[in-house]
Chains A and B, each alone.
Chain A
Amino acid sequence: MLYAATSARAKSSNFELWSWLFMRISGVALLLLVLIHLAIMHLFQPISNVTFDFVAGRWSIPAWRWYDLGLLWLALIHGMNGARIVSDDYIHGRVARLVTMTTLYVVGFVFLLVGSQVILSFQPTSTP
């Protein structure tokens, strides 16, 4: 029953092909985005430097907001899609699958929304 449903979807759409391609392309992009992020935030300065003022200064430059927004979207979609692929392999029960997939989609969507909102709406002057 479940196999039939899955293979019907596999035949009728290229979803898994696009998912595979996305993982490769976003993976290569993330290699640069994440390693630069790690180097700046964690390696070349003490973590105690990363304060409200530091982030405020960083986000006063629009390019860094776009950088962080790109990082958020690519990393979160890449990560949640990865979690979906892994769950797909190990979780077989109908109800368990429904619960897992719903959770992944809801959590992914909410974090994407909240994260984007925080990056785009941040105003250093309006907060105490």
Chain B
Amino acid sequence: MSINRRWSATWFANYRGQTGQWAQLLHRVTGLLIVVFLLAHIADTSLIGFGAGVYDGWEALYQNRIVRIFELLLVGTVIYHALNGIRVTIVDFWEKGSLYHERIFWGMVVLFFVLFGPSVWLMLFVNP
């Protein structure tokens, strides 16, 4: 704990481990973005208690083109956070995980595009 504090004097660099460091920074940034959206999403869903008029009025916001782009970025953000979380969990629980963390990272990058590519296609062209 105290080691963490001392190192974090260099702002974000809790440790210097190349891909792992950037993966962790991105994990934190995406995590915070998702939790901010989650709070907004709980608020907008709660409007359903006020009836169809109020709820549908606010949900129409999601059909706005600019909001749609943010929604697409949100999907990418969630996919990254999920895949990197799995990587961290593998490294934590598999005894050889720390030996392969970098290889797993690049595997996850490939998997990211495999999942995000079709998502972009579905959201922009199939169900715009």
Binding site for B on A (CB under 8 A): 3, 6-7, 10, 24, 27-28, 30-31, 34-35, 38, 42-48, 50-53, 55, 72, 75-76, 79-80, 82-83, 86, 89-90, 92, 107, 111, 114-115, 118, 121-122, 127-128
Apart from A38-B75, A82-B28, A115-B45, what are 14 other A-B pairs with CB-CB below 8 Å? A7-B2, A35-B78, A43-B119, A43-B123, A51-B59, A52-B51, A52-B52, A52-B55, A80-B35, A82-B31, A82-B32, A89-B8, A89-B14, A115-B46
Shortest Cβ distance from B82 into A: residue: A31
Alpha-carbon distance between A127 and B86 when the two chains are bound, in angstroms: 42
**By CB atoms of chain B within 10 A, which of A43, A72, A80, A122 has the most?**
A43
Min CB distance B52 to A, Å, is: 4
Q: List 15 A-B contacts (CB under 8 A).
A: A3-B2, A24-B89, A27-B82, A30-B82, A38-B75, A43-B122, A52-B52, A76-B42, A82-B28, A86-B32, A90-B12, A114-B46, A115-B46, A121-B49, A122-B48
Does the CB pair A47–B62 fall under 8 Å?
A: yes
With an 8 Å Cβ cutoff, the count of chain B residues facing the other chain is 45
Name A24's contact: one of B48, B68, B92 (CB within 8 Å). Answer: B92
Number of A-B residue pairs having CB atoms within 8 Å of each other in the complex:
112
Q: Does B99 contact A (CB under 8 A)?
A: no
CA distance A121 to B2 in the complex (A): 46
Contact B49–A122 (Cβ < 8 Å): yes
A92 to B14, CA, bound (A): 14
- Complex contact A46–B35 (CB within 8 A): no
Q: Chain A residues with Cβ under 8 A from B48's Cβ?
A: 52, 55, 118, 122
Task: Output the least CB separation between A100 and chain B (Å).
Answer: 13
**With the chains together, A45 CA to B35 CA distance in Å?**
24
Query: How far, in angstroms, from A38 to B92 measured CA to CA in the complex?
Result: 27
A79, B85: Cα distance in complex, Å: 13
With A7-B2, A43-B122, A82-B35 known as contacts, the answer to whether A27 contacts B85 (CB < 8 A) is yes
Known contacts A7-B1, A28-B89, A118-B45, A53 near B52 by CB under 8 Å: yes
- Residue from the list B8, B39, B89 in contact with A27, Cβ < 8 A: B89
A6 close to B1 (CB less than 8 A): yes
- B16 interface contact, C-beta 8 A: no
Closest Cβ of chain A: how far from B9's Cβ, in Å? 9
Most B C-beta atoms less than 10 A away, residue of A6, A38, A128: A38
